């Protein structure tokens, strides 16, 4: 490895250590209270080593208290459980075993690897420190170790190992980068499959889903779009299990609803590599809790449905990297807030509604002739029928579907509206169909998501 490459590795080593330390502290509340996260020590490898040693030491103490069974290596030879190492002795032990990865003896290399694997936290940090001096053979072993750690059931370990590999892959033109890139591709495929299995088992829906997006039903199969849907009342996992969504590389649309929605969850959504549309419903958030969405690379559409969102959210919404559309349905955003959004987000399609839902479908252009009545909807309950032509709502003329949406936008769920329709009725005298006007009282409802 040339001098320039070593310099690059050294330069990123501190950042990698910070990522590692973030995972160790952020996902283990007992370490968070140590104060290292905010003490300014985040950037130092030594600091990461301190936390890693603390975590590995705790793990080994726990293992020692429970008793550790002997194992066997791949050749069938019995392995006696190693002596539990603590503190500085553990750091020296890991360093020595990393050097042994260069041994000409296959058995010594395998034994060193086995010993390193017992202390994943310390090993990840030590690999970063050792990378500038590693030979090609040692680099292969180190990448292989990180690959193993990236599939560890402990999300802190797996995420830290993956982050280190990502950083190594940025050192272009080096064998280390090539090895890391190859490993990352395999890890991403494996992690996505594992994430799919875990999340669907816990109640999430993933696949070609039939979702309502921007007021229109989206056929996920024909559109060839993979979506993720998480509803609070259906999801049985805990907050840590949600971390798996960051590995769903194929998902482009995310729909989340209920109290499960938080700034932490949206931060995970923002880490999904290819997410483009985010739908949030029935959640209570503060304006700043939407800020994690700023880091989405291509946020085409955002939808906030039946949420206590007011004009106070407008400054935050203006900061989001929206490229196509914003839908505020059943929120407290006023027409003044809508106008401010339109002024600052020029060119963006913005739709604001108080959330009153009629429940019909009609052609996008031309007269509003009902082509579908949603079962159980307000329209169905009021007696609106297939092929009825809607001509007025509250004495306002309705010439097309755009006018229908604009008029309904000023009404909330449970508000009554007078809807004039023209229906083809059989004249009993002539037995012919004749257009007949009638006014129906409709008690608007809420849109049932999906």
- 3-state helix/strand/coil string of 231-273: ECCCCCCCCCHHHHHHHCCCEEEEEEECCCCCHHHHHHHHCCC
Closest by CA to 104, choosing from 116, 94, 112, is 112
Q: What is the CATH number of domain 202-353?
A: 3.80.10.10
3-state secondary structure of 436: strand
Domain ranges of the chain: 3-193, 202-353, 360-443
3-class secondary structure per residue, 107-159: HHHHHHHHHHHCCHHHHHHHHHHHHHHCCHHHHHHHHHHHHHHCCCCCHHHHH
Q: How far apart are CA 320 and CA 293, in angstroms?
A: 7
Q: Are 339 and 422 in contact (CB under 8 A)?
A: no
3-state secondary structure of 410: coil
Q: How far apart are CA 379 and CA 445, in angstroms?
A: 9
β-bridge mates for residue 424, sequence order: 435
Q: Are 151 and 176 in contact (CB under 8 A)?
A: no
How does pLDDT run across 306-320, given as a tens digit for each residue?
Answer: 999 999 999 999 999
**Fold equal for 202-353 and 360-443:** no
What pLDDT sits at residue 91?
A: 81
Q: How far apart are CA 257 and CA 241, in angstroms?
A: 17
**Residue-level length of the chain:** 450
- Is the whole model's pTM more than 0.85, yes or no? no
Query: Quick one: 377 exposed, middle or buried, by C-beta within 10 A (0-12, 13-18, 19+)?
Result: buried
Q: How far apart are CA 122 and CA 45, in angstroms?
A: 11
Angle at 448 between CA 445 and CA 449, to 5 degrees: 145
Closest by CA to 201, choosing from 152, 156, 234, 155, is 234
pLDDT in 10s for each residue of the chain, 450 residues: 455 544 444 444 444 444 444 434 343 333 223 332 223 323 343 444 455 555 555 555 555 555 544 444 444 444 444 455 566 788 888 889 998 988 889 999 899 999 999 888 888 888 888 877 778 888 888 899 998 988 887 777 888 888 888 888 888 788 888 888 999 888 888 889 989 999 999 999 999 998 878 776 655 545 689 999 999 999 999 988 999 998 899 999 999 999 999 999 999 999 999 999 999 999 999 999 999 999 999 999 999 999 999 999 999 999 999 999 999 999 999 999 999 999 999 999 999 999 999 999 999 899 999 999 999 999 999 999 999 999 999 999 999 999 999 999 999 999 999 999 999 999 888 889 999 999 999 999 998 765
Instruction: Give the CATH superfamily of 360-443.
Output: PDZ domain (2.30.42.10)
3-state secondary structure of 347: coil
Q: Are 289 and 262 in contact (CB under 8 A)?
A: yes
Q: How far apart are CA 258 and CA 23, in angstroms?
A: 27
């Amino acid at each position: 490895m040339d001098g320039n490459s070593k310099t690059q590795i050294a330069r990123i080593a501190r950042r990698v250590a910070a990522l590692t330390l973030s995972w160790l502290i952020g996902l283990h509340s007992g370490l968070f209270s140590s104060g290292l996260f905010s003490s300014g020590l985040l950037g130092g490898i030594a600091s990461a080593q301190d936390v890693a040693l603390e975590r590995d030491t705790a793990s080994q103490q726990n293992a020692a208290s429970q008793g550790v069974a002997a194992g066997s290596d791949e050749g069938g030879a019995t392995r006696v459980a190693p002596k539990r190492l603590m503190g500085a002795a553990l750091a020296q032990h890991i360093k020595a075993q990393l050097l042994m990865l260069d041994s000409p003896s296959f058995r010594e290399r395998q034994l060193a690897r086995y010993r390193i694997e017992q202390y994943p936290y310390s090993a990840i940090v030590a690999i970063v420190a050792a990378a500038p001096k590693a030979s090609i053979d040692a680099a292969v072993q180190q990448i292989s170790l990180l690959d193993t750690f990236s599939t560890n059931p402990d999300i802190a370990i797996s995420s830290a190992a993956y982050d280190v590999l990502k950083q190594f892959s940025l050192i272009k033109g080096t064998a280390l980068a090539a090895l890391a890139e190859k490993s990352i591709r395999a890890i991403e495929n494996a992690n996505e499959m594992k994430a799919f299995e875990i999340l669907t088992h816990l109640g999430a829906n993933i696949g070609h889903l039939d979702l309502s997006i921007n007021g229109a039903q989206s056929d996920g199969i024909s559109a060839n779009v993979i979506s993720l849907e998480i509803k609070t009342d259906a999801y049985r996992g805990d907050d840590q299990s949600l971390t798996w969504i960051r590995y769903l590389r194929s998902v482009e649309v995310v729909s989340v609803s209920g109290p499960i929605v938080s700034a932490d969850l949206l931060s995970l959504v923002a880490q999904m590599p290819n997410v483009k549309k985010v739908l949030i419903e029935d959640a209570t958030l503060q304006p700043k809790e939407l800020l994690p969405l700023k880091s989405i690379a291509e946020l085409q559409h955002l939808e906030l449905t039946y949420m206590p969102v007011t004009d106070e959210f407008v400054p935050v919404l203006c900061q989001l990297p929206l490229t196509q559309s914003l839908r505020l349905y059943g929120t407290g955003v006023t027409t003044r807030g809508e106008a401010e959004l339109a002024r600052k987000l020029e060119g963006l399609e913005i739709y604001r509604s108080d959330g009153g839902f009629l429940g019909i479908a009609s052609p996008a252009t031309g007269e509003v002739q009902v082509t579908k009545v949603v079962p159980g909807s307000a329209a169905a309950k009021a007696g609106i029928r297939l092929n009825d032509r809607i001509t007025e709502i509250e004495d306002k003329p309705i010439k097309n579907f755009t006018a229908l949406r604009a008029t309904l936008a000023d009404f909330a769920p449970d508000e009554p509206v007078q809807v004039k329709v023209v229906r083809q009725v059989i004249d009993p005298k002539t037995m012919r169909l004749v257009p007949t006007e009638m006014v129906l009282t409709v008690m608007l409802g809420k849109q049932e998501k999906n």
